Amino acid sequence: MKNFIFIFAVILFSFQVNAEVDDWTAYGKDSGGGHYSKASEITPENVHNLERAWVHRSGDFQDGANTRGTISNEIQTSFQATPLLVDETLYYCTPFNRVFALNPETGQEKWIFDPEVDPAGRPLKTCRGLSSWKDLNKNQSDVCYHRIVGVTMDVELFSIDGKTGKLCDDFGEKGIVNLRKGLGNHPDTYYWSSSPPAIIGDKLIVGGSVIDNLSINIPGGVVRAYDIRTGELIWYWDPIPPGKEAVLDDDGNHLYQRGTANVWSIISTDPDLNLIYLPTGNASPDYYGGHRKGLDYYNSSVVALNASTGEVVWHFKTVYHDVWDYDVPSQPTFYNIEKDGKTIKALAQTTKMGLVFLLNRETGEPIFPIEEREVPQGSLEGENLSKTQPFPTKPLPLNPINFDSDEAYGFTFWDKGYCKRTAKKLRNEGLYTPPSLQGSIHYPSAIGGNNWGGPAIDHSRNVMVVNTMNLASLIVMIPRADCDKSLEELAINDTQARFTAIEQNEGIPYCNLRSMGFFSPLGVPCTKPPWGTLTAVDLNTGDHLWNVPLGTSKDIAPFPFWWIKGAPNMGGPTVTVSGVTFIAATSDYYLRAFNTETGEELAKFRLPTGGHATPMTYKNKDGRQFVVIAAGGHWAIGTPASDHLIAFALPEK
């Protein structure tokens, strides 16, 4: 009898351990990203059996008057949210900034919070995620013991009760902090926020996005720390060069410097090191820097700040004097590595160039050597390019960095010939070809390479998995005297058909034409497929383990051209301890599962439109594992807008 009781207790204990809920408490799963889950019910052997468990629709989506690779004033929504899972409640935000709390097993609504944002005229309508924090100074039954925090497109920071969705009255002004304060006067379309605040201790860390290529007189890239309980400003980091005097108004009050590098993507925090890691963007405008006079000191960098003071501890530039819109686009992602008998706390930084910088996150020193290589010169009058750029020796680039015009692609001899002829008329000297009056091919394009989806890191294998795009973009600089002309009058090397607008760049000697993709008249990328790949890197050695095409041309190309492997993509991957990598992201409407160790595509599941978000996964109290993806389309990829939040799971036993 005693043996039976002992065996029963062991079985019960094992079940309870297996059934422990695997919460997803931050955008990247952890405060240092990685999208890594220990949920293990779904394996490489059974993942093909996944089926839809539930679907939730918010109704928050909008079609836009945009075409692939361009922006309009009423651009379509993009549903990019990665939900949180905390204490058996799933939280997510919509492109209109409403917050939904759901039952994670059924998708049924628990409550809705509506910040009542007016989306009209906003240039980008998206929300990538929310943040979660518990106040251990309170009892669990207290109001706002658990807070859900987010930022709206009209630049307000809100804090709501995780149980009820009601605003926390002790935070800011009845639950709201106005982030517009200190930014100066500017049109509403110039500044917004779409990424969740970071949390370290009892501080909220908030950056912001700026509109590209309209003016040098746009809001600056200030990063601010707020008390998570009260909303009081604790410190701010104004990204001006060391030694430069702060800007003051007529009354001596500090003004955040305009035109500095901004932090629009996902911020990481390391409580053990008391450090905050910022991925910085570019000073405005993107394609000319002759006026900057040091304001791009922190451009396109990883910047580590002291969490107590906001002071810079170290920073690492991935691009010198960036005139290519090569913002650092993704969350600095943590991992550890053993080297010379010591454990190094490290981070992986993916970039729009498809270069990956592996850095010691305590010091900013590279894990593997980085070389200074000469890059193309000769640019615009008044410009001062860097003669070299940093190239990591490991890992090797995730995508090609030279566009061969003889390898230009097309569905037919006609459109392939167009791509070849056009490429030969433009400046095309590989990565870091400068913008020019002649017109330049930028390869990779300004949307990647890699973008905000960032990498996933399987900590049990120390393997990084990341999706990449293989596309080129076109830039033509126009002298200011010609900037009032029409597109037809500005015909440049027979490429004007691919441009839809003139970006004015007020305050510099040039406006510009820009196409985020180099397409043939049939809308086919002029780069040779695959247009998208998925790559695994061994973080211990820096070597590529595998590289496979991601997606197909289905849903963007007419039949019979669905067979092309490797599709444009936007979003990110998630990995599990069992060795499964989940990713949607592609222009064809699928959620896919790959074997993390081999790169083999194990299964794919049809979605109603493109799933341009990062999936998340969790297990409920009974040990059942769910995989959740937002499928809502993306204007840059050309997939239709929608509002589907879809959960997959294995059939119930």
Active-site annotation, residues:
325
604 DSSP assignment: E
Tokens matching residue 264: 């629009």
Contact 424, 358 (CB under 8 A): no
Lateral strand order in the sheet of 233-237 = 198-200, 203-206, 223-227, 233-237
Q: Is 98 exposed, middle or buried (0-12, 13-18, 19+ CB in 10 A)?
A: buried
Residues 6 or more apart in contact with residue 236 via CB below 8 angstroms: 182, 222, 223, 224, 225, 256, 310
Residues 6 or more apart in contact with residue 157 via CB below 8 angstroms: 149, 150, 151, 172, 176, 177, 179, 197, 204, 206, 226, 231
Question: Of 281, 300, 284, 303, nearest to 292 (Cα)?
Answer: 284
Q: Dihedrals φ, ψ of 539, to 5°?
A: -75, -20
CA atoms within 13 A on the CB side of 336: 8
Spatial separation of the C-alpha atoms in residues 323 and 276, rounded to whole Å:
26
547 DSSP assignment: E
The torsion angle over the Cα atoms of residues 541, 543, 545 and 551, rounded to 10 degrees, is 130
Chain position carrying tokens 């040990």: 623
